[in-house]
Structure 1
Amino acid sequence: MPGVRVQLIDGEYAGSITTVREAWHTRSLQEPPDVYLVEHPLGSGKLQVPASAVALVCEDN
């Protein structure tokens, strides 16, 4: 999932579009990742967010 563009839909940066850098499982490897490390919306490092706080972005090419 690294490189995928997502929109933050919850929290302080809701509405921001960013890029996933890492995804990992804290509960079960049989389910989708439940935590993502994304580029910080303000460009100052990375931000850890729960999977429930992101939505995939469909970008027109």
Structure 2
Amino acid sequence: MNRLDHICLLAEHNSWIDTKVFKAEKALKTAELNPNRGAFLGSIHQIPAKPSQRMV
């Protein structure tokens, strides 16, 4: 697999996993999104929806 194919595969995987995560997030109630879970960004609700808003 060449470098371009590998990058494309990673991009496809990222899109696939983002879809799964945001679908799971929509299934949660607001009360489940807001508590601080001690993770990198605190609560689930604080995670930016757009990749451009995420920290790299």
TM-score w.r.t. length of structure 2: 0.22
Larger helix share, 1 or 2: 2
Highest relative contact order (Cα 8 Å, sep 6+), 1 or 2? 1
Higher Rg of the two aligned structures: 2
Larger strand share, 1 or 2: 1
TM-score w.r.t. length of structure 1: 0.21
